[in-house]
């Protein structure tokens, strides 16, 4: 596991290792927030790509508290890899949004629906 400050440093290092063009129009940058948040189904939200036409513009948030709940038991290196995976996922949303493409957004929605369906089916069995 990484402390909040170590996670912030890791995100900076990861972002610095990526091509600069990825960050075009990501005018709000990458924010590491301390909270753990969940969606309407009670599932942890690890990261989000945000677009606010008025306000911050385009930015990525990574929820450290959610990451800790999901991956806090992992080694430092494994936690960092998960952090990198979440950041890359959100940056793909950014690039697709710029291109007018919703492929990953649709894939995420399908995976979520399948997960919820399987969870409901399991509950009915129990």
CATH number, position 63? 3.30.2010.20
Sign of the four-CA dihedral 17, 22, 26, 30:
negative
Q: What is the pLDDT of residue 5?
A: 98
In a domain, 126, yes or no: no
The boundaries of the domain holding residue 74 are 4-101
In a domain, 118, yes or no: no
In a domain, 120, yes or no: no
Q: What is the pLDDT of residue 124?
A: 86
Q: Which of 4, 9, 11 is nearest to 90 (CA)?
A: 11
In a domain, 106, yes or no: no
The whole-model pTM stands at 0.93
In a domain, 114, yes or no: no
How many structural domains comprise the chain? Answer: 1
Cα 121 to Cα 39, 41, 114, distances in angstroms = 20, 15, 10
Outline where 2-58 has alpha helix (H): 4-16
Tell me: the pLDDT tens digits for 8-32? 999 999 999 999 999 999 999 999 9
In a domain, 10, yes or no: yes
CA–CA–CA angle 38, 112, 66 (5° rounding): 25
In a domain, 43, yes or no: yes
Q: Give the side-chain half-sphere CA count within 13 A for 31.
A: 15
């Amino acid at each position: 596991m990484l402390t909040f400050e170590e996670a912030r440093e890791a995100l900076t290092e990861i972002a610095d290792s990526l091509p600069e063009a990825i960050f075009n129009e990501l005018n709000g940058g990458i924010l590491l927030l301390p909270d753990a948040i969940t969606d309407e189904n009670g599932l942890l939200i690890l990261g989000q790509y945000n677009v606010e036409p008025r306000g911050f513009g385009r930015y990525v948030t990574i929820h450290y508290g959610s990451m800790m709940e999901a991956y806090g038991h992992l080694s430092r290196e494994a936690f960092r890899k998960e952090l990198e995976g979440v950041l890359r996922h959100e940056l793909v949303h950014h690039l697709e949004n710029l291109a007018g493409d919703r492929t990953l957004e649709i894939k995420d929605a399908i995976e979520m629906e399948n997960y919820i369906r399987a969870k409901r089916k399991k509950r009915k069995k129990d």
